[in-house]
Structure formats: structure tokens, C-alpha cells
Structure 1
Amino acid sequence: MLLPDPRTHAYQPDSRRAEDALRGQLSEADWDYVTPRPVAATARLSLRSEPRADAVQVTEALPGEALELLWEDENGWAYVRTLHDRYLGWTPAAGLTGTGLTGTQRGELLTVTALRAHAYAGPGVSQPIVGELCLEARIVRTPGETVTEGGRFWLPISLPDGRDAWVGETVLSPIREADAAALALRFLDTPYVWGGRSAWGLDCSGLTQLVFSAFGQTLPRDADQQREFLGAVERPRRGDLAFFPGHVGLMLDERRMVHANATNMRVTVETLGEGEYGKKLAVGCTGFGRWTP
């Protein structure tokens, strides 16, 4: 029997635990099936391959992001799934809020549009920083008037961990870029971080997933999953994804590509076939994929 992809299907042969959705799909009968329950990330959380701080980061949950909790171990680690792409990993249970983040209890649920941002203890840039935010993070607009300070507008919010805070209004401004390719260029020089999904540090498929998500276009987490998800095309155009063994980039036109890469340890733009690295990329390119609604 072909086992489901362990990146997105929760089962662990050693502990004999599996999510309830896999009943009838696993070869043996002695599994302890678990029903996931909704939680949310209180901050940026590293999701790791094993319940250890030194295990590989496989992905990242963003502040306020909806998750499912599968199970916990005796050392305070939780096995969770990111709902938007169903990706699994281990994270400290202390970083989860048990009720999820809906915004219905205290105010309106908002999505952060700034690449990086901070939340403050009060309405002013000299106030203590109490939270770290990023593009696609979720916060709640709480009741209260907007405050003007130094020509800047401040909104009262609730952070995903429940603390009250303030953010500058520009943190929630509409995205000004016209498409995912233009938004990706704003990430230039962002550090490369394996498993990262924010402007504090990200990897190749984290970048493509994040910028597509900002325009309401959901992609799977990893490069191979993204290739399988998208329709293949022969000649690339702006907005298509370029695929390589274990790597993905976003095309700016027929030849230029923006990508988070470990060669430069940051987000850069390369021209396929030009320069030493560009020639290497052109030779290694295995195809292109295009989003189709």
C-alpha cells in the first residue's frame, strides 16, 4: 500500500498515532486515531521535523495563522498542521492559543500587508515593541478610536496571544503592487532561511507561496508540490514559476527570475543563461508552471 505524503498527512508509525481522516488508508489496524482541534500561532513559530529545538525547520507558522493540533508529547511539543497548505511539523505547545483567532469576540480580523512590522505598547514609535508582525499575519482590530501622533495614525489591536497593542495604520494599507512578481521584488536581499515564510527570512518556495497568497492564490508549501499543482507551460511569461531540482523561482519576464537562494543566501534576481550562475540555472531548469484560476 502506498502511504500518504507525510508532509501533509499526519501519521507516525513509532507512536501508532494518526489523524482520523486516514482511517482505512493505513495498512495495519492498531492505530490510535486522533481528531484535530483548531488552534492558532501566537507569533512566528518554527515547525520542525522532530520535537527538538535543533531539528530541521520544515516550515513556519505566521502570527495568528490558523492551525490544527494533532497531538502533544510529554516534553511540551505539539504536532500541528498549517491549515492554508496542510503542512505538518512540531512546535512548542506554549506558542499556541487554544481557541484559534477568529476576530469575532473582540473586533474585526485583519491581515497585515507590510513585509515586516512591529506592534507597540502604545500609540507611538517611542513606545516599547511588544510584537513582531509580517505579511499575511493576522491581528484583531479592537474597539477604540484611532490615535494621531506626529502625523501618524495608530490603531488599537489585539495580538494573536491576546495582548493589547497598537500598530501604525500603514501596516494594514492595501498592497500597492500589481502582481505577485512585483511584490516578490520587494523581498530583494531578504535573508535566505530554510523553511522560512516571512520577510524576516524565507526559502525559495516560501517566497513564491507567500507572494501568491497575498493575491488570493493558494500554493502548496514545497517546490515539488507547487510544480505538481500548477499547469505546465513551454515558454514562460511574467508570473510563471521556474522549477529546478529542489528549487523554484518566480519569472519576471521570459528570462529574468527572482528567487530566494542559498547560493547568495538572500533573495536575488538572475537572468537565465547569463553569467556563471544564470547559465547554471538555465541548464538545471526542469520546466515552468502557470497559475490558472
Structure 2
Amino acid sequence: MEYAICFVPNNPLRVDHDECSEMLTELLFGEACTVTESWGNWSKIINKAEGYVGWVTTKMLTEVSKEYFDAYEPAEQRVLTTLFSQAVSETTGEKMLLTGGSLLPEYKEDGTFRVKNDRFRINPADAQPLTESLLDTALRFLNTPYLWGGKNAMGMDCSGLTQVVMRMHGLHILRNASHQVTQGELVSFLSDAQPGDLAFFDHADGKISHVGMVAEKGYIIHCSGSVHIDKLDDQGIFSKDLNKYTHDLRLIKRYK
């Protein structure tokens, strides 16, 4: 197998070919990858959209041809815009619970989509383009627990939240905060920020370590412990629970 698509709701991508190995991120349904190495039941892959490298369980992938892979553009696929949606295989009748941000290849307006010869169906309302604001979508994830490498409503990290929310609005950004900060347009001052802009935070060494979404004036929604809202000012994030500043503001970006 050289080219593949994730064929399950979530496929953990790990540092090594071991279920106890650190999870770096997840492949969501419909995300494509190249396979560079195999080890038993594991495949080392490169995520096509993000360039992320790691190990996944091979049985959670379905092989595609080079021609299919080359023509497959993640940013052109319909995206699941609800937190969860039950997909039913019209081939086998089996059901699976897809998560927000999943890609739906060859999507039709009747709610069907296809991966090779396998055809699936969801409620068409679950893949309609969103008219709500980026902030309103982010608020749907409130109280989602923090999970390193996660990017779904059962568990996610800070950049998983921002990536999935943006993707649900048709904005395909990179995975990690340190990569997301290289995209978008700079907002010069916090006073100029708008709800939906992304705020980035750094360590003392200057490395970007955290990201969240600007909410209403003076607030931010972010995932640290869980997805929640804290105060935001020119210094950074002030945690109401800890009664102290927890993250130092570096810059703000806007995405279109």
C-alpha cells in the first residue's frame, strides 16, 4: 500500500508503531495519506493536507490508486459541519459515528458520499455549509476535555480546536499552533481583533506554544484543561480558575 484514505471516524497518529506511543494527532475520516513504511499491523504515513508524519493502524486505512490520490484535494471535499453524525454504509449496512471536520469524498446533496466502491449516507443537514460565525461554532465545543493530539468533540488540544472549527467553515489551516501562526493575516493590535481571529501565545524562548480564538472584547475561547472561556488582554490569558496569567500573548492572525 502506497496511498490511502482514513476509513474510520478517528485514527490516532502516533510517534511509534505501538498503541502506548504518544498520539501526535488524529486522521479523521476522509483524510488522505501516503504510506512510507510498514511494520506488522502498522503503517508510517504522511498526511497529505498537513505533512504530518507518524504511525497509524493499517486496518483503519483503505488503499487508493496513485491517480485517485493525486486528484484528491482535501480542501475541495465537503466537510461534516456538525459535532457528530451517524453515517450508514449502503454497501454493508454498518453504522459509524463521524466527527466534525471529517471529509466526505464525492459528496452529493442527498447526503451520500463515496470512498472507492463504498457508498455512505448521512443526514444532508449535517454537511450543509455553515452560516453561523466562527465563534458560534467554537462555542459548540465548550467543555470538551483536553486531549493531546485530539481533534474531535470527545477530546482535543488547543490547535485541534482551532483547526476543526476553521475547517467546518471551509478554511483549511495547518495542524499545530506553531504552523497555524505562519498562515493568515497579521492583526496589529488586540483592539483591532474580531471574534474568530486566532490569538497565539509563546514561551519565554519565543516558541509558539498555544492558540485560541478571540471571542467578544476581552475574552478568548481556548482548550487548556478543557474548552472554556477566559479573559484576554495585551499581556495574555488570565485564568479565572487559577486567578493568574497562564499564557503570554504573542500575536493575532485573521483567516479568510
TM range (shorter): 0.7 to 0.9
Deviation at 1:234, TM superposition (A): 3.0
Q: Which amino acid aligns with 1:131?
A: M
1:217 pairs, out of 171, 174, 185, with 171
2:214 pairs, out of 251, 255, 263, with 251
Deviation at 1:216, TM superposition (A): 3.0
Partner of 1:176: 131
**Aligned residues: CA RMSD:** 3.0
1:239 pairs, out of 196, 211, 227, with 196
Deviation at 1:269, TM superposition (A): 1.0
Other structure's SS at 1:285 match: strand
Q: Which amino acid aligns with 2:102?
A: A
Does residue 202 of the first structure (1) align with residue 159 of the second (2)? Answer: no
Deviation at 1:161, TM superposition (A): 8.3
Listed as ranges, the gaps of 5+ residues in structure 2 are 72-76, 204-208, 233-237
Partner of 2:251: 288
1:193 pairs, out of 136, 140, 147, with 147
Deviation at 1:249, TM superposition (A): 0.9
Does residue 51 of the first structure (1) align with residue 6 of the second (2)? Answer: no
Q: Which amino acid aligns with 1:118?
A: Q
Structure-to-structure mapping, 1:112-131, within 5 angstroms: 112-120=80-88, 130-131=95-96
1:189-227 deviations in Å (ceiling 9; x for gaps): 222211011223211000111112223333221122222
Other structure's SS at 1:84 match: coil
Other structure's SS at 2:149 match: coil
Cα pair 1:47 1:90 within 8 Å, conserved: yes
Does residue 279 of the first structure (1) align with residue 236 of the second (2)? Answer: no
Structure-to-structure mapping, 1:55-94, within 5 angstroms: 55-73=21-39, 75-94=40-59
Q: Distance in 2 between matches of 1:187 and 1:65?
A: 21
- Point out the structure with max Rg over C-alpha: 1
Cα pair 1:234 1:287 within 8 Å, conserved: no
The normalised TM-score by structure 2 is 0.77
Cα pair 1:242 1:249 within 8 Å, conserved: yes
Q: Which amino acid aligns with 2:87?
A: A
Deviation at 1:166, TM superposition (A): 3.3
Identity %: 26
Listed as ranges, the gaps of 5+ residues in structure 1 are 1-35, 123-127, 147-154
Q: Distance in 2 between matches of 1:88 and 1:81?
A: 5
Other structure's SS at 1:192 match: coil
Cα pair 2:197 2:255 within 8 Å, conserved: no
Between structures 1 and 2, the one with greater strand share: 2
Q: Which amino acid aligns with 1:242?
A: A
Q: Which amino acid aligns with 1:96?
A: L
Closer, same or farther in 2 for the Cα pair 1:274/1:92, shift >3 Å? Answer: closer
Give the length in aligned residue pairs: 232
Q: Distance in 2 between matches of 1:64 and 1:201?
A: 19
- More divergent stretch after superposition (190-199 vs 50-59): 190-199
Q: Distance in 2 between matches of 1:278 and 1:251?
A: 20
Deviation at 1:168, TM superposition (A): 1.9
The normalised TM-score by structure 1 is 0.68
